[in-house]
Copies of this chain bind each other. A is one copy, B any other.
Amino acid sequence: MTDAPNATTDELPWLRLRVMLGDGAYMGPGRADLLQGIAETGSIAAAGRRMSMSYRRAWLLVEALHQDFGSPMVTTAIGGRRGGGAQLTPLGEAVLQGYRQIVARCQTAAETEMQALAALRQNAV
């Protein structure tokens, strides 16, 4: 998992945020990046590779999401024109969008306080 918020910004400080849903269920940054990777690449393996993650680990994360939300987030097709492609279910899309909204809300709401926290660093560049 990368330490950078994304490839196009280096805005600081930023949040890594896990939404705890009870019973150990959650949605977090790694799961979000994986779902987004699957949506963009059409492949669990390719999405995992983008995050330096084995296929097995990526698949287990998808399965954990399924368990946590009680319904699949990713469908895989065998054969057909896209041969074995993976894509998000409507639930997968909704969870990803919902999580991104939460992150955006928090980043905006706590911007001033985060800058204040960063300003407490005595060794900042």
Contacts and interface: CB of A to CB of B under 8 A. Distances in A.
Interface stretch (A12-20, A53-61, A76-84): A12-20
Interface string A88-113: 00010011001101100110111001
A98 B120 contact: yes
Question: At the interface, is chain A mostly helix, strand, loop or mixed?
Answer: mixed
| Identical copies of this chain, number | 2
Contacts of A17: 15-18, 106
Contacts of A108: 109
Contacts of A106: 15, 17, 105-106, 109-110
Nearest to A10: B22
A99 to B, nearest CB: 7
Interface of A: 3, 5, 12-27, 68-71, 91, 94-95, 98-99, 101-102, 105-106, 108-110, 113-114, 116-118, 120-125
